[in-house]
Amino acid sequence: MDKDFIQKMKNKLVKMKKEILKHLAAESEDFQNIIEDIDPKDLADIAADDIDKKTLEILGAQDVKRLNLIDAAISRIENGKYGICMQCGKKIPKERLEAIPYALLCVECKKKEEKR
């Protein structure tokens, strides 16, 4: 893969990482506000607060997972392994990397994984 493309992807990954960190910080603040706002309420309000907390936890977990994938992709760039399928060792198409810059698998291997 050419160096310009790899640098473009690295910049994209770093930007994505900053956005996720910013989002997680905002979620953390929102989550803290929900917890602080809990006071004796009727049953419906308590249930709604619980749903809000669980939603924030799930969103946070997804962001953390994506953040880990982004960090791993940046490491692969630094190690010269970026754009290589982790399963079969073939090159991941540029189009796939542009769509999902932290992709670990080529399209074929990803399809096989999803079928399982």
For 54-70, how does the pLDDT look when each residue is reduced to its tens digit (9 = 90+)?
655 665 678 888 888 99
Model pTM score: 0.71
Alpha-carbon span 54 to 56, nearest angstrom: 5
Asked if residue 89 belongs to a domain, the reply is: no
CA distance 73 to 27: 24
Answer yes or no: is 72 within a domain: yes
Would 109 be classed as within a structural domain? no
Count of structural domains within the chain: 1
CATH number for the domain harbouring residue 60:
1.20.120.910
Whether 90 contacts 105, CB under 8 Å: no
Please give the sequence-ordered ranges of beta strands (E in DSSP) within 54-110, or none if there are none.
Answer: none
- What is the C-alpha separation between 101 and 16, in angstroms, rounded? 9
Contact between 96 and 107 (Cβ < 8 Å): yes
Domain around 32:
3-82
Answer yes or no: is 110 within a domain: no
Residue at 88 is within a domain: no
Looking at the domain assignment, is residue 99 inside a domain? no
Per-residue pLDDT of 12-56, as tens digits, reads 999 998 888 787 777 666 655 655 555 555 545 555 555 555 655
